[in-house]
Structure 1
């Protein structure tokens, strides 16, 4: 491994060239171990290519300087990479010239724009596994004296050992509070700097989070599609004064959901932000969740007539990921490390699980079943569980004291 790879190293990193060169050689040495399986080798090459770029250009450190917290930062980065690091096409990193030499491809980016699968449990677990294997190699070669990934794998929620049970994919009450607080904080900050677009972004996030949690909505039930176009008119009041929400879920099955006081308050707040009457009528065509990416909010004049719906679920996935990311940062600042780490693999579907899990403890199971759109009560009963935290706290109160 005496080849000189200096020409392939980035020029805009604060990491010394010789250090980056050693990092690259260590990665190549690890990758070629899998030469017998081209697929495996390709997976490791892709992962380490991303990791090196992040270490050098974002973190500004060598791979040998990474610690547990650094790996967590990298995982979060892969879940929600910036637009400048993504591409709609899977371009080759290098182009082969006629003389057989290679040239860096300026169109190459570390992530695909369609990599929403990066939020999936299996993908995150694979990232941990590949990085852990890489650091085991570095330890065996005495290039580093510890495996920063292994310290996380033993304590996080990505891989469970023992009785084979999985941690429930629900948010704790504290995590919910932090998510709501970051949305309100963004709204307050936007109001201070008088940014209409940032203000609407924050209020839209708060409303989407509230109805996703309060009505167990799937992400597909928040956006317009060929089968369903949700508007504010889907909220309606019956003759007894109770509010309901109509939606079409999996299997094109229509259902109506009880609207709680919390959800109704969130709806009123959101509609006031949009300069609408507090409560919708049967003729209200306002999209349930509106798009903010079409330049509508860059000019406040006549904005209401330009409201258009969201038709891409990926936008909602990213919106919720941003909420979880900001909540995680807030929790870390206040020393809530373990709770913060759990939010790394949280998704908008966790809101549905959380709402059902909370309500099934206080409402009749058949009512929750109908609101959730479950075919049988048995499915709803599966949400009756205690999280690991609740299970531990249940034994904290002393029963017998030794004197």
Structure 2
């Protein structure tokens, strides 16, 4: 039997009245644009300038235009939901109900037909662009639903929607037994504190620093990459930033106030905060700046990117930062001993955001007061910070080692 041509199969999938295109290129028929969505609130309550679902989504995304990393995630998830609503459900996003969202959860775990929804990564402007590369993992589904819940809650608060149907699913899942499987498990109960596991322990972090120190330094480009890698590692470990924050901020975000140094950061949702710069972090900043030929510390008008391209001095993107760290993490994995295979696998799976988790965990492990770690991490809820505390589990696990397996081998001959 001859294999089907995948390109021909993709072309044979009917596109319907709405093509699979990014939000900024989408043309939506009037009967699907949401003006008459069944979940629309009284227009007198409207707090945003939005007549259609697409306009409402754009208003939501504008709230995050100063947080590039968050913006990209929310844009991706909003586009996926909107396209699915229009193409699979044949209804506006503002008409989706609770049952629709349950169907969407299942769709995320297996987007079908794959030829219509999935494809290799491509530029948004090309016809090859697709919303998915393939089925989402359970953690990716969780990320997607968190983003969508933020969208729906925003539209309710803005007076655009009457209610948030996704919230009904979250309440129901809270009451369900643990034996329920599938992607719906990703909508976890808020009553359970799930510990953060995507961090590097001291042995793994030591391997990361060893991998950086092993980087070639003979040529100028090698030294550029080495010094930048040192500064990246120091910043992640000491300040616990998000990747998008390193992309968007400049050197003047480091400021001295009454003899103390702080990192002023605009984080998720445009929230402003400041993080204390410990002496070791200040020395790392001075070292990197002096290598770049800058003054030891920045002035208020210093618009130099925090992380610069070794090619042209332009700011590196969050995506490029992730690529740099992926290479370092893979090298670090090779430095771990053979009996740490599970840690090798974790390092190879690690991404830039693991650096933030590692920094927050290291702060708690070093004995910094939990209240101040919450401020450093910029967590609104103390329970979020508590997810990084593993001391009780470690003691619990240590106690378990007191129990030994009693086994008598009757076939063993006595000496």
Which residue in 2 is equivalent to 1:309?
Answer: 315
Which residue in 2 is equivalent to 1:322?
Answer: 327
Once residues 181 and 118 of structure 1 are traced to their aligned partners in structure 2, the CA distance between those partners, rounded to angstroms, is 34
Q: Kindly indicate whether residue 340 of structure 2 is the aligned counterpart of residue 336 of structure 1.
A: yes
Once residues 268 and 274 of structure 2 are traced to their aligned partners in structure 1, the CA distance between those partners, rounded to angstroms, is 13
Q: Is the 8 A contact 2:193 2:383 kept in 1?
A: no
Instruction: Identify which of 241, 247, 253 aligns with 1:234.
Output: 253
Q: Is the 8 A contact 2:237 2:362 kept in 1?
A: no
Once residues 197 and 235 of structure 1 are traced to their aligned partners in structure 2, the CA distance between those partners, rounded to angstroms, is 26
Q: Is the 8 A contact 1:356 1:368 kept in 2?
A: yes
Q: Is the 8 A contact 1:359 1:368 kept in 2?
A: yes
**Alignment: residue pair count:** 252
Q: Kindly indicate whether residue 248 of structure 2 is the aligned counterpart of residue 175 of structure 1.
A: no
Instruction: Identify which of 343, 349, 356 aligns with 1:345.
Output: 349
Once residues 307 and 237 of structure 2 are traced to their aligned partners in structure 1, the CA distance between those partners, rounded to angstroms, is 15
Which residue in 1 is equivalent to 2:225?
Answer: 201
**Normalised by the size of structure 1, how large is the TM-score?**
0.52
C-alpha deviation, 1:391, in angstroms: 5.1
Could you tell me which runs of 5 or more consecutive residues in structure 2 were left unpaired when the two chains were aligned. Answer: 5-109, 142-185, 187-191, 405-415
1:201-280 counterparts in 2 under 5 A?
Answer: 201-224=225-248, 230-239=249-258, 241-280=259-298
C-alpha deviation, 1:252, in angstroms: 0.5
In structure 2, the CA distance between the partners of 1:398 and 1:372, relative to structure 1 (3 Å rule), is: same
Once residues 321 and 357 of structure 2 are traced to their aligned partners in structure 1, the CA distance between those partners, rounded to angstroms, is 17
C-alpha deviation, 1:366, in angstroms: 2.0
Q: Is the 8 A contact 1:121 1:345 kept in 2?
A: no
Instruction: Identify which of 105, 112, 117 aligns with 1:39.
Output: 112
Q: Deviations over 1:366-391 (max 9, x none)?
A: 21122211113232223222497775
In structure 2, the CA distance between the partners of 1:338 and 1:378, relative to structure 1 (3 Å rule), is: closer
Q: Deviations over 1:130-164 (max 9, x none)?
A: xxxxxxxxxxxxxxxxxxxxxxxxxxxxx9xxx99
Q: Kindly indicate whether residue 382 of structure 2 is the aligned counterpart of residue 367 of structure 1.
A: no
**Normalised by the size of structure 2, how large is the TM-score?**
0.50
Q: Deviations over 1:160-204 (max 9, x none)?
A: xxx996761211011111111111211xx2x2xx32122212221
Once residues 232 and 281 of structure 2 are traced to their aligned partners in structure 1, the CA distance between those partners, rounded to angstroms, is 10
In structure 2, the CA distance between the partners of 1:168 and 1:387, relative to structure 1 (3 Å rule), is: farther
Q: RMSD in angstroms over aligned alpha carbons?
A: 4.2
Q: Is the 8 A contact 2:196 2:388 kept in 1?
A: no
Which residue in 1 is equivalent to 2:63?
Answer: none
In structure 2, the CA distance between the partners of 1:119 and 1:232, relative to structure 1 (3 Å rule), is: farther
Which residue in 2 is equivalent to 1:151?
Answer: none
